[in-house]
Structure 1
Amino acid sequence: MKADHYDSFAAQYARTNETGLFNAYYARPAMLALAGDVDGRRVLDAGCGNGPLMEALRARGATVSGFDSSAAMLELARQRLGEDVDLRVADLSAPLPYADAAFDDVVCSLVLHYLHDWAAPLAELRRVLEPGGRLLLAVNHPRILEASDPQADYFAVTQYSDEYTFDDGEAWTLTFWHRPLHAMTDAFTAAGFRVAVISEPPFSPDTPRELLPPDLGDRTAFICFIFFLLQAE
């Protein structure tokens, strides 16, 4: 996705994600649980958006840095986190403005599924990690494609689009790249990572019932995102 596309609805996107099901009650809690104890760790948020995950990691004792390709999203992050936080405009499709082995952890939540090529971005994320460092990822679950296009080939790397409705009722179309699970794990291995955890967690127990799909019944999980904890080798 082009940065200026996010610039055009940055405030709406950020506002919706503060209290929305998919970010506030699913992706962020799951990423924080996966990260565990980050006290004293140097953490890079790759594609930090308006900064809520960075804020939560900092509150848990991490030294945080972040980048995003959208200048408008970064301005919202600065307002949230303060002027002294290391925030930079950068793009995962290009070399990153950080030294080798600069971080203990990288979190990359809901970013890679916008990209066709994962090889170069994963290589850069591996470069900025200490040996033995961790890359924590959240991407669209590979089964999401079935809901968008039941006739699509699960095993192909496929572009697809979904409509995203903000809390003010305005809708925008977001475009993603589907990958089957094996293509994801193959990309991680090729970039020098070992897969330590694959997670399909439940939503937060604090989720307001009215935010959940009405047909969910008593289930505590739904198909949405998939989470990975990778170790840099």
Structure 2
Amino acid sequence: MTQVQSEYDRAAEAYNAENESNLQNAYYERPATLALAGEVAGRRVLDAGCGAGPLFAALRERGAVVSGIDVSPGMLELARRRLGAGADLRVADLADPLQFADDTFDDVIASLVLHYLKDWGPTLTEFRRVLKPGGRLIVSVNHPTAEYSIARLSGHRPDYFETYASPAEWQVGDHTINVTFWNRPLHAMTDAFTAAGFRISVLSEPQPAPEAREMFPDDFFLLSTAPSFLFFVLEAA
């Protein structure tokens, strides 16, 4: 994930500033993930792909004992400023083995990170290994139908049933972020979860937070009628 690391290191400050208050993250993905996590007081949680730490902070405020990993040292530096020197934050690539013992966590939360990986198998196997039996993996990813529609609008017709690379570009402040997402059909996601030893307990397509309706009227309508992300709660079998 070296491309991801370099892009987020370069734009860390600008990305974090936008992530704090935009519709997609602050009023859609993060509230939905926290709602799925529910009561976390006393639970040991791994925030896998923690970025600058907004989800880590919210989980800690709710009483969870949180560890955070991210591929970007620049983003983790911002997380340390937010969370304090005592926060358990580590540089890690999700494509590599995790530096945690077996059965360490009650929950692993992978918020908008799996779609950067072509092969989910090794990463999901590691998530299963570090989870306690009966622990939860909470995942948010790009919605497969949303990505398929965007690709078609760009002038080509991909095969929905294939796993394919999709270059993505967006403007954050003065920076243009360029990364590659790996889009896959729903059945490929569920097959990967099952193969790694998970059972699906929740599949969710939530609405944005209600207070965002007046703040982002146009985008709120689009997001409330065509979801950008897909959410899962998975149980370690």
Q: Is the TM-score greater than 0.5?
A: yes
Q: Aligned partners of 2:90, 2:56: CA distance in 1, in Å?
A: 13
Pair 1:228 & 2:228 matched: no
Q: How does 1:6-21 map to 2 (within 5 A)?
A: 6-21=8-23
Q: What's the secondary structure of 2:159's corresponding residue? A: coil
Q: 1:95 aligns with which of 87, 90, 97?
A: 97
Residue 27 of structure 2 corresponds to: 25
In structure 2, runs of 5+ residues without a counterpart are none
| 1:10-31 deviation per Cα after TM superposition (whole angstroms, max 9, x unaligned) | 1111111000111000110000
Q: Distance in 1 between matches of 2:109 and 2:48?
A: 6
In the aligned structure 1, how far is the partner of 2:180 from the partner of 2:217? 24
Question: Which of residues 134, 137, 140 is equivalent to 1:138?
Answer: 140
Mapped pair 1:162 → 2:146? no
Q: Which amino acid aligns with 2:178?
A: T
Which amino acid letter does the alignment assign opposite residue 192 of structure 2? A
What letter is aligned with 1:225?
F
Deviations 1:125-163 (A, max 9, x none): 000000000000000000122233211111000110222
Distance 2:118 2:49 in 1: 16
Question: 1 or 2, which has the higher helix percentage?
Answer: 2
Q: Which amino acid aligns with 1:228?
A: F
RMSD: 1.6
What is the CA–CA distance in structure 2 between the aligned matches of 1:160 and 1:223, rounded to whole Å? 18
Q: Distance in 2 between matches of 1:188 and 1:129?
A: 14
Offset at residue 222 of structure 1 (A): 3.0
Aligned to 2:60, what secondary structure does the other structure show?
helix
Gaps of at least 5 residues in structure 1 are none
Write the letter of the residue equivalent to 2:167.
S
> Is the Cα–Cα contact under 8 Å of residues 148 and 161 in structure 1 kept in the other structure?
no
Query: 1:165: how far off?
Result: 1.9
One of 204, 211, 221 as aligned partner of 2:209: 204
Distance in 2, Cα, partners of 1:210 & 1:202: 15
User: Which runs of structure 2 are paired with 1:59-78 in the superposition (5 Å)?
Assistant: 59-78=61-80
Distance 2:182 2:230 in 1: 14
Q: Does residue 1:183 correspond to 2:188, yes or no? A: yes
C-alpha distance in 2, partners of 1:212/1:130? 42
1:48-90 Cα deviation digits (max 9, x unpaired): 0000001000000100111001101000000000011110011
The share of aligned pairs that are identical, in percent, is 55
Secondary structure at the residue paired with 2:20?
Answer: helix
Q: Contact between 2:47 and 2:66, CA under 8 Å: does it hold in 1?
A: yes
CA distance in 2, matches of 1:215, 1:44: 30
**Contact 1:131–1:232, Cα closer than 8 Å, also in 2:** yes
Select the residue among 172, 194, 198 that pairs with 2:177.
172
